[in-house]
Amino acid sequence: MSENLQISNTGTDLEREEGKITYATEVISTIVTVATTEVEGISGISGATSSLTGIIGKGKTPRGVKVDMKGETVCVDISVTVDYGMPIQKVGRNCQENVRKSIESMTGLHVEKVDLHVIGVSFEKENQEMQQSQKLALTLESEEEMQAAKEEPVEVEYSEESSVEPETENEEEKEAQEETPETEKNEAETDNE
């Protein structure tokens, strides 16, 4: 069995007795884009659209990804931004390895090299974390204020004039005094008859 290898402008053609498999550079670029954005610490590819459907649908190589195919070997250049605070060397190595594995497992092509260019540092993740911690602090502060308001004792001052019990006693005494003279008058009238 002999292998005939043909190179076209759009990618690599692998011609065998079973048939021909052609990989367009856009396909490899899409694999590179997905594999790169999967890596923790990579905030984005320079100039790439945020949605993968946009990349796939346009049929164009995204900016920030350059694919060079020669026969069954692929060389890739990627320009990325890294999240602030992440170890750039470790993130870079993880990205290179993920891109290499993805291309080789999906296409069977050999990846000769993956050049990674860190062109920026993103503070977006750090800013989001800071905003979340500020919201949490405000929430905790308002909860503490509500708890303090619930725990404050309510002071009520009673005076003799405003007290309910003395008024009740005074009313009962008045009624008792009022009944006594009338009852005596009624008893006196009854005796006179």
Instruction: Give pLDDT < 70 ranges for the chain.
Output: 1-16, 47-62, 125-129, 152-193
Judgement on whether residues 15 and 100 belong to the same structural domain of the protein: yes
Q: How many domains does the chain fold into?
A: 3
Q: Which residues contact 126 (CB under 8 A, 6 or more apart)?
A: 83, 84, 85
In this prediction, residue 88 carries a pLDDT of 95
| Pairing between β-strand 73-83 and β-strand 110-122 as defined by DSSP bridges | parallel
Judgement on whether residues 14 and 87 belong to the same structural domain of the protein: yes
Q: What is the CATH number of the domain that holds 9?
A: 3.30.70.1350
Judgement on whether residues 109 and 16 belong to the same structural domain of the protein: yes
Where does a domain end: 74, 103, 122?
Answer: 122
Cα→Cα distances 140→54, 84, 137, 147, 149, Å: 42, 28, 5, 10, 14
Judgement on whether residues 101 and 12 belong to the same structural domain of the protein: yes
Judgement on whether residues 137 and 184 belong to the same structural domain of the protein: no
79 CB-contact burial (10 Å; exposed 0-12 / middle 13-18 / buried 19+)? buried
Instruction: Determine the 3-state secondary structure of 68 from DSSP.
Output: strand
Nearest Cα residue to 102 out of 70, 71, 67: 67
For 31, the token pair is 């694999």
Judgement on whether residues 53 and 82 belong to the same structural domain of the protein: yes
CB half-sphere exposure, 148, CA atoms < 13 A? 6
Where does a domain end: 122, 143, 177?
Answer: 122
Judgement on whether residues 104 and 129 belong to the same structural domain of the protein: no
In this prediction, residue 77 carries a pLDDT of 96
In this prediction, residue 162 carries a pLDDT of 52
Judgement on whether residues 103 and 133 belong to the same structural domain of the protein: no
Judgement on whether residues 16 and 111 belong to the same structural domain of the protein: yes
Cα→Cα distances 119→80, 82, 87, 104, Å: 6, 8, 15, 26
CB half-sphere exposure, 113, CA atoms < 13 A? 5
For tokens 């919201």, the residue is: 135
Range of the domain at 172: 159-193
Separation CA 17–CA 29 (nearest Å) = 28
In this prediction, residue 168 carries a pLDDT of 55
Judgement on whether residues 112 and 24 belong to the same structural domain of the protein: yes
- Contact between 48 and 33 under an 8 Å Cβ cutoff? The reply is yes
Judgement on whether residues 102 and 180 belong to the same structural domain of the protein: no
Cα→Cα distances 66→28, 114, 115, 150, 185, Å: 10, 10, 10, 64, 120
Judgement on whether residues 171 and 99 belong to the same structural domain of the protein: no
pTM > 0.75 = no
